[in-house]
Structure 1
């Protein structure tokens, strides 16, 4: 009997169970992004995927399934086989905020195995460079004196949330259009169709370089624009702060595979060249491993549930 047990143990060691990290990956990995090509979430995913594929020695193919603030892509991955070959790029709006603000989400946080948070970034409030307001407070005071005079815009989804905190906290009567992406939002800002906009840094970079826009506030501090006050510093401490992107696998994905992916993504994010590329599009490399990322997601979920209840927001 003792010899039989020894042989069985030896066989397990020599031929690990299918799905363990020793034989993974054996084919290309699909990373699913819930935004169109070219945006910050897509660009960051492609940077990390390209670098990580060198370590894993298989292609990592990015697929875009845009729509419904990222919930379409999240639902797709939640229903995928938990074998490590279909990975979601989760976002603040599709996961932590989405459960509080989107009415028809068909998945739960427990449907995912957190792998690694990879970037964080702020949401910005911007105006044209020739606008009369030099601070957010100046705009708020003007809008209070002139109800219904001004129009505002956001990229849609999560970018609307900090602005909703401003509008509701200050009891402003300012129309708010939620666009489908940054391009039409910025175009209408530059064209004078809206007076103030909430967006991310990436599409603003060329406009800032051309001195066509000015940033009044950001949801959190920015390395390259330390002079820009945060929303908390501007009088709105309840406004959401850092937004995030992170990699998640379907629940039930073997832990060795999750750990192998997470370690690979961490190595990619520690590469100074990747950090610099991310910074150029307004994103900060900010790795969290599976356990820390899971705890972070739960705290984000609770924060957004309280936020939505306080401001009675549904998107």
Structure 2
């Protein structure tokens, strides 16, 4: 009798999971962006949400839950009801970098399950047009002459631009005065106002503004900015990859995750989304759940080693 009951329970659970996937979504979907409105991740999330709403025939709302290097927004998804109606649209940095830079984050990295990679976000070093600094070489020369004086803004502790600029400083034997903000959108006015000397920012936050781009954090130049050198052209290793994707609470049923994964792939293939990404100088790069998870696992090891080499490793989580 007990065996029969266990079999019935298993069949019932499987039936419920399948039924949930067939009806999913049963109401609107909330996309949590763990950075402030107006930044590159937020803009891409809104472009993606329009496609997702069309594919899944439901309302999709973007909610910015910024702060603490993206960890506040991630925690909201980690603690959400696991029905797939609250999802995370985020860089991987709160998962693969923040735990090593901050020592303690309000979630376990494995409490979030990757659905798909959507795009890779190029970051740049930018100054005001009025700045006397005309090139990355001049910036580094000034930093050597005045250690710790040049200030820069980044999107928060554990973010890709934070880690990339720390790597730049160490590799060039210079020091900067770093100032953390809650996203690119908060860095821009400080940079334009002359309150920081340069910014490490997502390229889509910079283009079209009264800023001069000195270099791209990457191993090649961007098609839309062919005159801007890549950081590797200065002998600096490209330290981190800014993977951006969709995630859910790990308790979400597999069938629901599969439906979201397929919707994600369809959205990234839409001409409208690819055009929007191109206009923002973003690189659409879809990866399915399994491949994305494998890349993230590798990033954990790579980022921990890099953070430790920079003397920034903290433990305690």
TM-score normalised to structure 2 length: 0.86
- List structure 1 runs of 4+ shifted beyond 4 angstroms: none
1:132, 1:64 → 2: CA distance? Answer: 35
2:59, 2:288 → 1: CA distance? Answer: 22
Query: Which deviations, in whole Å up to 9, do the C-alpha atoms of 1:149-170 show, x marking residues without a partner?
Result: 5333323341211111111222
Query: Which deviations, in whole Å up to 9, do the C-alpha atoms of 1:101-153 show, x marking residues without a partner?
Result: 12221222221221111121111111233444443123212322333453333
Assess, with a 3 A threshold, how the Cα gap between structure 1 residues 84 and 134 changes in structure 2: closer, same or farther. Answer: same
- Identify unmatched segments of 5+ residues in structure 2: 1-6
2:63, 2:16 → 1: CA distance? Answer: 26
Deviation at 1:262, TM superposition (A): 0.8
Alignment length, in residue pairs?
301
Counterpart of 1:63 in structure 2 is 63
Give the structure with higher Rg (CA): 1
Matched, 1:139 2:145: no
Q: Is the 8 A contact 2:36 2:184 kept in 1?
A: no
Counterpart of 1:4 in structure 2 is none
Assess, with a 3 A threshold, how the Cα gap between structure 1 residues 171 and 73 changes in structure 2: closer, same or farther. Answer: same
- Which among 178, 182, 195 is matched to residue 193 of structure 1? 195
Assess, with a 3 A threshold, how the Cα gap between structure 1 residues 248 and 181 changes in structure 2: closer, same or farther. Answer: closer
Q: Is the 8 A contact 2:41 2:90 kept in 1?
A: no
- Cα RMSD (Å) of the superposition? 2.6
- Identify unmatched segments of 5+ residues in structure 1: 1-7
Query: Which deviations, in whole Å up to 9, do the C-alpha atoms of 1:246-299 show, x marking residues without a partner?
Result: 111111322221111111111111112211112222322211111011111111
Q: Is the 8 A contact 1:117 1:287 kept in 2?
A: yes
Provide the secondary structure at the position in 1 that maps to 2:232. Answer: coil
The 10-residue stretch of structure 1 (190-199 or 48-57) with the greater mean CA deviation from structure 2:
190-199
Counterpart of 2:154 in structure 1 is 154
Query: Which deviations, in whole Å up to 9, do the C-alpha atoms of 1:30-73 show, x marking residues without a partner?
Result: 22111222322222222222212222122222222111111111
TM-score normalised to structure 1 length: 0.86
**Structure-to-structure mapping, 1:244-263, within 5 angstroms:** 244-263=243-262
